[in-house]
Chains A and B, each alone.
Chain A
Amino acid sequence: GAVVSQHPSWVICKSGTSVKIECRSLDFQATTMFWYRQFPKQSLMLMATSNEGSKATYEQGVEKDKFLINHASLTLSTLTVTSAHPEDSSFYICSARTTSGSPNEQFFGPGTRLTVL
């Protein structure tokens, strides 16, 4: 149980286009999802916290107009990278927190590798 999926697993896009990444909790409901970014051979940096039905809370230094987050249901959150540029190339990982069972544990998705040409 407690599986989180991401789609797509990798994506290549042209500079200036927008890319949407989905994060789904497959077998549980998640009121809160988190989006992280990981640069090559570096640690994960929290970008934003997404609560179902409300606006996301962004970490300092993260452009909310560039990284649009929508958490429309208890099983789905999306991250849209708008007007992507090569510096946005990274590994994006989401996590979801359960609403029951082990509320203190976050379950991580497999990540989405974004390459902007």
Chain B
Amino acid sequence: GNSVTQMEGPVTLSEEAFLTINCTYTATGYPSLFWYVQYPGEGLQLLLKATKADDKGSNKGFEATYRKETTSFHLEKGSVQVSDSAVYFCALKTSYDKVIFGPGTSLSVIP
């Protein structure tokens, strides 16, 4: 079946450090891939997305590339800020329009 796996957190980084959150998926067909962010006490916000192989999604300094050969969609940011502290969810959308979320990775950025 379809599933999403993320690196386990929590992840704690110092401000301006490089961030990578690994995400791999299992899916039939060609799913769309997403990263969502959830700030404390809030709902989900779409951070970035990619709809086909080799697409790169980017937003607010975050990037992720759809790698079909490795079934991965790793999230990266070159220099994190305290305001990036949140929970990050990798997700895929199937052809039936269902969004399947990974377990989430909690990120804490300390000054």
Residues on A facing B (Cβ under 8 Å):
6, 32, 34, 41-46, 49, 93, 95, 97, 104-111
Interface presence of B97 (CB below 8 A) = yes
A113 — nearest CB in chain B belongs to which residue? B41
Cβ contact of A42, chosen from B32, B98, B99, B103, cutoff 8 A? B103
0/1 interface trace, chain B 44-87, chain A, CB 8 Å (1 if under): 11100101000000000000000000000000000000000000
B103 touches A43 (CB 8 A): yes
A105 touches B46 (CB 8 A): yes
A108 touches B97 (CB 8 A): no
Q: How many residues of B contact A (CB 8 A)?
A: 20
Q: Report A55 CB to chain B, min CB distance, Å.
A: 17
Given A104-B51, A108-B43, CB of A44 within 8 Å of CB of B101: yes
Count chain A CB atoms within 10 A of each CB in B32, B98, B99 and give the residue with the most: B99
B102 touches A93 (CB 8 A): no
B45 touches A108 (CB 8 A): yes
A43 touches B43 (CB 8 A): no
Q: Report B26 CB to chain A, min CB distance, Å.
A: 15
